[in-house]
Amino acid sequence: MHKIETKEINLHYGNFHALKGINLVAKENTVTALIGPSGCGKSTYLRLFNRMNDLIDNVEISGQVLVDGEDIYGRRVQVDDLRKKVGMVFQKPNPFPKSIYENVAYGLRVNGINDKKFIEERVVSSLQQAALWEEVKDKLNKSAFELSGGQQQRLCIARALAVQPSVLLMDEPASALDPLSTSKIEELIHTLKKDYTIIIVTHNMQQAGRVSDYTAFFYMGTLVEFNETKIIFTNPKNTQTQNYITGRFG
């Protein structure tokens, strides 16, 4: 059983056919990069896995989206529970207007956890996992907005990790960051995959090459090619894929 699987996914925004018959799998503890030109459906596809598309009007989805073998669009699925299991990090860091500590603790409190010691331990471990602990351990009660952009993004990752997801969705997590922060985020992804299954949308093909094990190339709503990243970047099977990754279009 794969960690994540989609079967014949079709998605319409009204009359617009945004995703066309997508069949894709992601193995546990791997990083899968979704690449393709703007508007090709990468972020739409990513948002399937935590049902963020539910928040958009006139969306119709057919097919199956499976996480750990369960169809997450089934009637019995609680979306709140799903979003604990499937965490998300967005392009622009979006810390809450709270302290660093409370940003990470928030998800636990909202889920009814009140044990102070438990929360503290989880906050520390999440910040450690996000490679941020050493930089913030002496100022946990400071506002999250006092952190740099790269630190805020790692705080958002810690926040997602605090509720112990098994899948992390990342929508261009480093595109708003400087090169050094980007490098830290990429190294963090490499470390996190030992414990999580990660799907990342990126416009930066070199980043896809550096961080991912598998790459899916999307074009106009279609999955053109999916393979091990090293094969996509050394010998793609599809001419369109080759044209995209060599910069001939897109």
Q: Which is nearer to another protein, 7 or 190 (CB)?
A: 190
Nearest distance, CB of residue 52 and another protein, angstroms = 29
The reply to whether 217 sits near another protein by the rule CB under 8 A is: no
Nearest distance, CB of residue 240 and another protein, angstroms = 18
51 Rama class: left (phi>0) / alpha (psi -120 to 50) / beta: left
Q: Which of 28, 71, 186, 195 binds another protein (CB under 8 A)?
A: 186
71 Rama class: left (phi>0) / alpha (psi -120 to 50) / beta: beta
Alpha-carbon distance 151 to 166, whole Å?
22
Q: Which is nearer to another protein, 64 or 183 (CB)?
A: 183
The reply to whether 229 sits near another protein by the rule CB under 8 A is: yes
At residue 17, the 3 state secondary structure works out as strand
**Number of chain positions touching another protein (CB under 8 A):** 12
Which x/- pattern, by CB under 8 A, does the window 191-210 give for another protein? Answer: ---------------x--xx
Within 10 angstroms of residue 36's Cβ, the number of other Cβ atoms is: 25
- Please say whether the beta carbons of 29 and 195 come within 8 A: yes
Alpha-carbon distance 29 to 45, whole Å?
19
The reply to whether 126 sits near another protein by the rule CB under 8 A is: no
Strand 16-26 and strand 31-35: the pairing is unpaired
Stretch that binds another protein, among 7-15, 113-121, 172-180, 186-194 (CB under 8 A): 186-194
Q: Which is nearer to another protein, 208 or 224 (CB)?
A: 208
What order do you get walking across the sheet with 197-201 strand by strand?
Answer: 86-89, 167-171, 197-201, 31-35, 214-219, 222-228
Stretch that binds another protein, among 59-67, 79-87, 173-181, 227-235 (CB under 8 A): 227-235
Q: Which of 58, 78, 114, 234 binds another protein (CB under 8 A)?
A: 234
Alpha-carbon distance 28 to 198, whole Å?
9
Nearest distance, CB of residue 219 and another protein, angstroms = 20
Give the residues lining the site for another protein (CB under 8 A): 183, 186-187, 190, 206, 209-211, 229-230, 233-234
